[in-house]
Every structure is written in C-alpha cells, then in structure tokens.
Structure 1
C-alpha cells in the first residue's frame, strides 16, 4: 500500500516530517503504526478540519512500532484484505464470515426493507455532558441511515448490525474461531489475537486529546496495565464482580461494548447509539449487568 507509507508524521508544532520506519501488518493490527483519529490523537493539528477528514491523508502521530494510539489502522487493514483477496470488503465478509456463521442482518448498505429497523442517534451536546437528546445527523453521522450507499468499504467501521448477529461473532470468538461446527478462524490464530502483542508499549491514555462531543476519554476503559492483542484490548485488572484479568474487550464509537472472559467462559455485550464514547451512564449500566451475570454464573 504505497499511499499508506508516504503519509507524513506530524510534529508537536503541526509541522510534517517524512517517516523513517516501515509499517507492517502487525503494526496496523496492534495500533502501533502511528495513525490516530481526528477526535482521538496525541496532539491536535491546527490545520486539520475534522468534519471533512479522510483517513488516507490524515497525518501519523509517531514512528511505527514506538507507541500505541487507537486509530485508522484497521481502515488500512481492510484495504490490504481487498488488495490480497481481489474482493471488496463487503463480499469478503459475506463469504468468509457472515455466511458460515449465519449472520443475516449485517450490512454496509442496509436494504430498503430493513431501514425501518435502524435506531436513531443521540448525543449530549457540545461538551458531552448534557442531557441525552436525539440528533438530526449529517452526511458523516446520519440520524438513521446514510444519505447515499457506501462504495468505499471500511475495515474500521460502517457496518450496520444487530445484537443477535454480533452475539454470533462473540460466540465464535469465545469458542476459539468456530460456532455450531462452522470454523472461520484457526484456534491458534485466536490464541494469538488475545495475547499481548505490543510488549512493553503502554496504553496509558494520559495526555491524549479527545473531542468532548465524540469521546469522553479512555479513563476506566484502559490504563497502564492494559495491553493490546491483534484485535482487542487486554484488561489485566480483574473486576470486583468476578471478571478475570486477561479478559479481552473493546467497543464501538456510539457506546457499544463487549468483552470475552475466556477464563470464566463468559462473553457479554451492550448496545446503544449515542455519543460521546465511553460515557459513564453506559459504562455503569454495563457493569451492573455484569455483576448480575457473574452472580448467576457462580
């Protein structure tokens, strides 16, 4: 992907420099390639318009392999999958993931018959702290469904799905790559995905910039003990209600979260559709649900 390797690195003063290190697939999967998001970065770029950003020209934040920053890395992974397979990402997902697992209500472009099932979006105002309200949306964050069909499929987001479909993914992962006899990943692959892949690199988000409308921060979600595998954050701090250290987890932009506790044999998820990400109300509700879940599991 030559267009990826030519993207410059942004300095603290907003200036740009050419990168020295190569970018590997491992860097992308572990979010150590230097790519961030306009609303989650190490440093703000005063010249950057976050309302019309494109991941292909958003500057990197550091040399690959030196730090961690959650960002557009998986968008690039999606482009690599398309390049290697010769298929669109939508077609690849449908053939190798959705069809084998019986996932029937997950789309980049929702069919007209299912658009009425899409929930509306909400936010909490310009500071992210107000009362939850429904929003009208725009081209980038439409209220119910996009104004036009997607033709450039993203590895980092854009799928519409249902709790039922996503639970099939969680069951597959908890069973090390298979569900109901249909295998989509080797067991050895899943084991690699859920172990520390970044060594001593820290996930501590202290000092990162977060756009308050879109993301509260990562406090409570990750800390200095957290690590990253090939698809998930690894939480090395056990929860008081029983969730074990080593649980892998992550979430979606609009306050959807999941975790896989392999030691306890438990997968759980929660779904909402509002900003900002990592909001206390949703996190607290998920924790209370988990307390009940682990109490019943005993």
Structure 2
C-alpha cells in the first residue's frame, strides 16, 4: 500500500513538474555569489549582472564590476543596458496584444496595412523580383518573411549595391513562409503595431507593457534623469579577437524618432526580469494581464514546421553580429517571439525552454517546465561571445543545482 501511495505521489509531482507547477529552488545567495566569483577569476569582463527568478518569486542575483568601466561605482540591477534584439520579444508581445483584440490576424495579408513593406522586392543571385506570397504577422514574428540584416546575417544583402535603393528596408531574400533568416522582420511588426494603434512604439510600450509592469527604466529614449545609469559598452576589434576596449558613446547623443521593433531599447536587469517573471506566470503580474495564457502557450509552439533555423555556414560579421552557432541547433524551433530549444541541458534546463539575446551580449531564457527564468547582461561585441555565454552557462549550472 505504501509503495502504491509513493508511486501515486511521485506521478503527481512529475506531472506537476512537467506542467511548470513545481518551482525550482535556488541555492543560497552566498553560494551563488562565491561560485560566480570563482568563475570571474578567468574573465576579462569589466561588468556583469545575472538574475534568475522562479515561479514562486524567489530571486537570485549576481553583480560584478563597475557600471562605468573607468569609474568606481559598482554595477547594480538598476543600471541601464542596451538590450538590442531583446527588444524583439517586447514588440512581439505588443503585436500579439493586437491579435487578442481582433485588430489583426496572425495569417492576415499585411499588404494593405503595410504597403511600403509589401512592395519591397526579393533579391536572389543578384536579381530583383516582386514577391508572390503575402507577408503575414506570423511570418514577421518567426523570421520567415525574407528580411535579413545587411552586414550581419546575409552576404548577398551585404554585397548588394544600394546606390539607387529607395525602399524602407533591405531587399527580401525569399518568398514568405519558405525559409528562415534572422533579420528585420520584427522592425515591420513594430510598424504594424504603430499603424494599428496610432501610437509610436515608445508610447505603446509605456501604455500597454512597460508602464503597467512598472518597468520605469525601459525606454528607446532614456530620460535625462536616468542617463547617468547607462553602463559602459565595448568591442573586441574588427575580427572580434582583440582586447576588450571601451567605446566612447556611452550616453546617446541623438533622439530616436524611428522606433525599431527589432532593437534599440534600453532596460535594466531588474526591469527585464519583471517582464520575464510575468511571462513565466503565463502573462500575469502585479494584477496586470499583458497576454492571455492561451497566447503564451501558442508562443511556445514551433510555428515554422520543418523549416530549419540552424545554418552553421551562415554569414556573419566576426566583429559584431550575428554568429548563431551554439545558440541554434538542428532540433531548434521558433515560436512567436523566440527560439525554442528542444533539447534538455545536462544541468537540468528542460527541453522546450524559450530564449534569445541581444547583440551586445545580453541573453535570457524561460524554462516553463522548471518554473525558471534567467538572464545575463554584459555590454560588448561580437555577439555570442564565450566570455558571456560561458558565464551564463555557469550561472545556470549553479542555480539549477538547487539547495
């Protein structure tokens, strides 16, 4: 009888765990700090912030180094980082809010709403041609609309002669829904949000996402009163292999007027963790529901069928972006905001974890099955540098080790 009861309880716990209803307990903060300090002994990073939160609101944080590399003030979770492509997740949430309201469909032809996007021709083998397939919001959110990044994700876009180019984006590279190419698709998702809502992205985010969640340090245009909290950033040379050198443009000198849904946000680790915690709770936090649970569940499903996102021979700029090797894999999928990692990690992170990052080496993941969301913030290029990705892996090993 005892054995039967034990098996029943074990099965219940296993089912709850699989449904993301069991929280992964973190180690004591002191242990996390000590182990991360050991890892930093071989690092050249001047500053790091890493945070993990579980679905019981237990949080563990690690900070190291100086906010401004040449000054003495230590970096904190309230300092402001350039989160680059981690903007894409916020834009995707905004677009899906409009879907929930019935203002646009995921598979609706967007040529009437965004004619300036729809008319952009396709570039293939040096030749331009007009597209036949309509672009949909699902294509934009899954990077299957054909838009890449010049100088970062596609060689033909990089080599193309733009002398007489008058369109509002680079050429597309293929018909919608046929291939995957990481690029500016979420820029157009942002323009769709602006067109339908009548608000620019700064104000839309403040009204519908960052404002309700209390993310008061998350902006495209950082208010003057907050600019002192922007951290240093640096680079490793044109080949990405030189000693890390601080960049001179810590404080932005020009005001953003063309808000990009694919990048450009500044945020703090504390702010972004509030958003991650909200998503981990299936869209609800602080008595605010930013998305329905059914929408979050749909975001976590592979939306691209058999289309492969892993291409180890893909073009990238070694000094900046976007080398995706080690981030994508042959089994990975793409949801409505993020990559889906379909493989378990040896330290405990579960298959089905969603994740992405930003060009200056900021990264996040949400492991719904384990009830854990984590992120790391450094500020240097090139993207996907082992100084940060290796450290994030170590942080993850530590937090999943539990008590």
User: How far is the alpha carbon of 1:75 from its aligned partner?
Assistant: 0.5
Give the count of matched residue pairs. Answer: 287
Match of 1:278 in 2: 384
Residue by residue over 1:150-184, the C-alpha shift from the partner in whole angstroms, topping out at 9 and shown as x without a partner, is 11111111111100000000000000001122111
Does residue 288 of the first structure (1) align with residue 369 of the second (2)?
no
1:234 aligned to 2:340?
yes
Which residue is equivalent to 1:93? 205
Give unmatched runs, 5+ long, in structure 2.
Answer: 1-113
Task: Give SS of 1:171's match.
Answer: helix
Q: Give the TM-score, by structure 1 length.
A: 0.92
CA distance in 1, matches of 2:166, 2:263: 13
Match of 2:43 in 1: none
User: When the two structures are superposed, what TM-score results if normalisation uses the length of structure 2?
Assistant: 0.69
How many Å separate the matches in 2 of 1:103 and 1:282?
Answer: 24
Q: Please, which of 116, 119, 126 is the counterpart of residue 3 of structure 1?
A: 116
1 CA distance for matches of 2:288 and 2:342? 31
Determine if contact 1:128/1:216 at 8 Å carries over to the other structure: no
- Residue 148 of structure 2 contacts residue 157 of structure 2 at CA under 8 Å; is this kept in 1? no
- Rate the CA distance shift 1:161–1:249 in 2: closer, same or farther, 3 A: same
Change (3 A) 1:55 1:132: farther
Identify the residue that residue 240 of structure 2 maps to in structure 1: 128
Deviations 1:78-117 (A, max 9, x none): 1000111111111110011112111111111111111111
Q: CA deviation at 1:18?
A: 1.6
Structure 1's 217 and 96: CA in aligned 2 closer, same or farther, altered over 3 A? same
Q: Where does structure 1 lack aligned partners over 5 or more consecutive residues?
A: 137-142
Contact 2:235 2:246 in 1 (8 A): yes
Report deviation, 1:54: 9.6
- The counterpart of 2:304, out of the listed 183, 198, 211, is 198
Gap change, CA 1:21 and 1:247, over 3 Å in 2: same
Tell me the secondary structure at the aligned position of residue 248 of structure 1.
strand
Higher RCO (CA 8 Å, separation ≥ 6 residues)? 2
How far the C-alpha of 1:24 sits from its partner, in A, is: 0.6
Shift of 1:44: 4.4
Shift in CA distance, 188/54, structure 1 to aligned 2, threshold 3 Å: farther
The question of whether the paired residues in 2 share the 8 Å contact of 1:124 and 1:275 is answered with yes
Specify the alignment match of 1:105 in structure 2: 217
Aligned to 2:274: 168
Pairing 1:218–2:324 present: yes
RMSD: 1.6
Q: How big is the shift at 1:215?
A: 2.1
